Amino acid sequence: MISSKLPKVFYGGDYNPEQWDEATHQEDLRMFRQAGIDIATVNVFSWAKIQSDEITYHFEWLDQLIDSLYESDIFVCLATSTAAHPAWMATRYPDVLRVDADGRKRKFGGRHNSCPNSPTYRKYSEQMADQLAERYKNHPAILVWHVSNEYGGDCYCDNCAAAFRMWLKQKYGSLEELNRVWNTSFWGHTFYDWDEIVPPNNLSEHWGENHSSFQGISLDYARFNSDSMLDCYLLEYNAIKKHIPHAVITTNLMGFFKQLDYFKWAKHMDIVSWDSYPAANTPPSYTAMAHDLMRGLKDGQPFMLMEQTPSQQNWQAYNSLKRPGVMRLWSYQAVAHGADTVMFFQLRRSIGACEKFHGAVIEHAGHENTRVFREVAQLGNELGALGNTLLDATVHAKVAILFDWDNWWALEKSSGPSVALKYLDQVHKYYATLFRRNVQVDLISVDTDFQKYDLIIAPVLYMVKPGTAEKLEQFTERGGTFLTTFFSGIVNENDLVTTGGYPGKLRNLLGIWVEEIDALLPESHNRIILKEKVGVLEGEYKCGLLCDLLHSEGAEVLAEYGDDFYQGMPVLTRNRFGQGEAWYVATDPEEPFLDGLLGYICEQKGISSLLRAPAGIEATMRSKDGKSYLFVLNHNAQTQQYHLDDQKGKELISGKFLEGDISIEGYGFQVLELS
């Protein structure tokens, strides 16, 4: 799609020349050319500069900037500037200011500072998008439109309260229904009038970050808040489309960002884009998983890497430099997982305010004779040479991990059974196990077509929404393998428990009944005792966190607990279901257990690794026009060896033909066009 705009991987990033003089801008253009940069994201935070009062706009500088970039063969990703409102707006229209979870009215400052239900914000942000689109609709420089920036945060003001009530009316129709799904007969919370409902925050139902007296209202407020911001996005989106029906419009997402249900958002984005900011000690598997989620948001379509740092960040506790080669490696990791752009925050480092110690292509030194610039330029040249070879290539995974924002919200708002239970931890454990095997994975929503997969894993599927259990049963019945874990099937879409026995709607599929759920103290463990070998699994393994106490109702018991009063109870079960099978892992096992278990299942299902390689060597594959491209990334600092079994092909950067035993340098990258 965006490949039609520019026949190569877009290369560039956020650019704020409004902080500099014209001479610096010219110098920037020279260096951009030198680095192979061909796209600049501009106007991200220029609202105050463009609009000095309710009716006065100043576009001349932006006209010149876009023209100047275009004349230097730099295309534009045009942001709408609405991610931080102007100070004058906050002073004159305080409804743009948020009220935080402690009920405190904010004052002007920071960014992401606008109430999503502020009439003023909605009016002027929509007008801004309208003005920009009208003005630049025919400008050839503009390849992509970038609405606002990194939507997030929340608000609890009276406008939000009123909008929340309206949202609830539309959802539930009647207070009777609302009282039912929120279970307000508990603690005497029955509502007799819509106006009695107040947003749930630290002044009402919440205490601490993750606790609510009423999960029902809290869950709905999370959905409402996500929807409110999506409404803001859509106002701008539609304003642009009105003028430019074929505009490519995005907003930059943030991977596993809890506040917004990106599956819902992605439906309204022409292309997904995101900002990737791993810390120095973030596991490569975690970054890979986030890329796969971003790819999964639009069912496998390529996405944009909108931001990453060329060198270091400023907002981590300890902002280590990316080691030589790491920026390049992580850029290619994005491409390996489906990105068709490589973009940075920021092209030139600002000299004042809180991001002045965030890395940039052009550092404070101001010239090209820096390690960082050299690495950027090297990558720019490589990407130029690759041309459009990889653009639009797709990933074909046989394994999917189910991910669901509602499940995330509901699970972590629950009180009990253990504060140590974190959804992302569990999802990542299963993802990382497949990552270590170099098995390609999709992250999918409950709405995705399940039938294209051989194996679907749903860690801690606490909430089972309407239709999901049926879809999983069909998937399994037709031969699919399904795996889920402890504390699954507990509640419905309203966080109301499915009575009659856990795992509720999954009970039939899994062939088990979970009678109780034990929470272990942080240092406590139980043991998983294999009844007989399952693949390489044998003997015993440690487990902890939660232990489901379950009974088989037809499922085969492959392992039992080794300790405590539930010693001998099933801990690993497999239920034959139609042509397929449904697995249940009743606790949180140690890594070797997961390696063995998923290894066994993959082998049984014929799901092969893309590459057998030493630890830290990652492999992915993208395909296009009948050709397959094998990406090999070495996340180790040292040179490693790996072996191509029956694959071979031309390595596109070096141009060398590779087969058999291959050496890859520390932080190195190879991409083979398989032949």
Closest distance to a second copy from the beta carbon of 320 (Å):
5
Which of 42, 69, 77, 90 touches a second copy (CB under 8 A)? Answer: 90
Contact characters 317-356, a second copy, x per CB under 8 A? xxxxx-xx------------------------xxxxxxxx
Q: How many CA atoms lie within 13 A of 606 on its CB side?
A: 4
Contact characters 565-604, a second copy, x per CB under 8 A? x---------------------------------------
Q: Is 225 in the site for a second copy (CB under 8 A)?
A: no
Residue 667 makes CB contacts below 8 A (sequence gap 6+) with: 323, 324, 325, 326, 328, 329, 634, 635, 636, 637
Give the active site residue among 150, 205, 368, 473.
150
Which of 70, 257, 513, 642 touches a second copy (CB under 8 A)? Answer: 513
Query: What is the residue whose two structure tokens read 């052009």?
Result: 362
Amino acid at 617: I
Which of 5, 22, 87, 466 touches a second copy (CB under 8 A)? Answer: 87
Closest distance to a second copy from the beta carbon of 429 (Å):
19
Spatial distance between the Cα atoms of 499 and 283, rounded to a whole number of angstroms: 39
Closest to a second copy by CB, 222 vs 611, is 222
Give the active site residue among 126, 205, 236, 307.
307
Short-list 46, 41, 50, 47, CA closest to 15: 41
CB atoms within 10 A of CB 52: 12
Q: Is 533 in the site for a second copy (CB under 8 A)?
A: no
183 sits in the region (left: phi over 0; alpha: psi -120 to 50; else beta) called left
Contact characters 174-213, a second copy, x per CB under 8 A? -------xxxxxxxxxxxxx-xxxx-xx-xxxxx---xxx
Which of 64, 314, 638, 663 touches a second copy (CB under 8 A)? Answer: 314
Residue 473 catalytic?
no
Question: What phi and psi, each to the nearest 5 degrees, are found at residue 463?
Answer: -105, 125
Closest distance to a second copy from the beta carbon of 536 (Å):
32
Query: What is the residue whose two structure tokens read 């917004």?
Result: 260
**Residues 380-439 close enough to bind a second copy by CB under 8 A:** 414-420
Spatial distance between the Cα atoms of 653 and 272, rounded to a whole number of angstroms: 27
Q: Is 616 in the site for a second copy (CB under 8 A)?
A: no
Spatial distance between the Cα atoms of 440 and 614, rounded to a whole number of angstroms: 17
Candidate ranges 126-134, 511-519, 580-588, 605-613; the one touching a second copy (CB under 8 A): 511-519
Spatial distance between the Cα atoms of 399 and 454, rounded to a whole number of angstroms: 6
Residue 150 catalytic?
yes
**Burial track 453-486 (b if 16+ CB lie within 10 A, e otherwise):** bbbbbbbbbbbbbeebbebbbebbeeebbbbbbb
Query: What is the residue whose two structure tokens read 């708002």?
Result: 413
Closest to a second copy by CB, 214 vs 450, is 214
Query: What is the residue whose two structure tokens read 């409902």?
Result: 197
Spatial distance between the Cα atoms of 509 and 390, rounded to a whole number of angstroms: 41
Strand partners, 650: 657, 673
**Residues 136-165 close enough to bind a second copy by CB under 8 A:** none
Q: Is 54 in the site for a second copy (CB under 8 A)?
A: no
- 385 membership: H or E segment, kind and range: helix 371-386
Closest to a second copy by CB, 204 vs 608, is 204
Question: What phi and psi, each to the nearest 5 degrees, are found at residue 605?
Answer: -90, 0
Closest to a second copy by CB, 250 vs 309, is 309
Which of 4, 158, 177, 357 touches a second copy (CB under 8 A)? Answer: 357
DSSP category for residue 106: P
Closest to a second copy by CB, 44 vs 305, is 44
Q: Is 18 in the site for a second copy (CB under 8 A)?
A: yes
Which of 31, 39, 46, 153 touches a second copy (CB under 8 A)? Answer: 46
Closest distance to a second copy from the beta carbon of 161 (Å):
9
Whether a cis peptide bond, with omega within 30° of 0, leads into 346 is: yes
Which of 88, 257, 600, 642 touches a second copy (CB under 8 A)? Answer: 88
Closest distance to a second copy from the beta carbon of 459 (Å):
19
**Residues 243-282 close enough to bind a second copy by CB under 8 A:** 280-281
Q: Is 214 in the site for a second copy (CB under 8 A)?
A: yes
Q: Is 657 in the site for a second copy (CB under 8 A)?
A: no
Candidate ranges 27-35, 252-260, 490-498, 640-648; the one touching a second copy (CB under 8 A): 490-498
Closest distance to a second copy from the beta carbon of 590 (Å):
19
Q: Is 313 in the site for a second copy (CB under 8 A)?
A: yes
> For a second copy, how many residues bind (rule: CB under 8 A)?
118
Which of 152, 366, 479, 616 touches a second copy (CB under 8 A)? Answer: 366
Short-list 280, 406, 382, CA closest to 332: 382
What spatial distance separates the first Cα and last Cα of the chain, rounded to whole Å?
Answer: 26
Closest to a second copy by CB, 316 vs 675, is 316
Q: Is 86 in the site for a second copy (CB under 8 A)?
A: yes
Short-list 178, 183, 155, CA closest to 165: 178
- Distance, CA of 97 to chain centre: 27
Q: Is 496 in the site for a second copy (CB under 8 A)?
A: yes
- 327 membership: H or E segment, kind and range: helix 326-336
Burial of 246 (0-12, 13-18, 19+ CB in 10 A): exposed
Q: Is 84 in the site for a second copy (CB under 8 A)?
A: yes
Which of 30, 139, 364, 656 touches a second copy (CB under 8 A)? Answer: 364
Short-list 241, 271, 285, 266, CA closest to 391: 271
Catalytically active residues are 150, 307
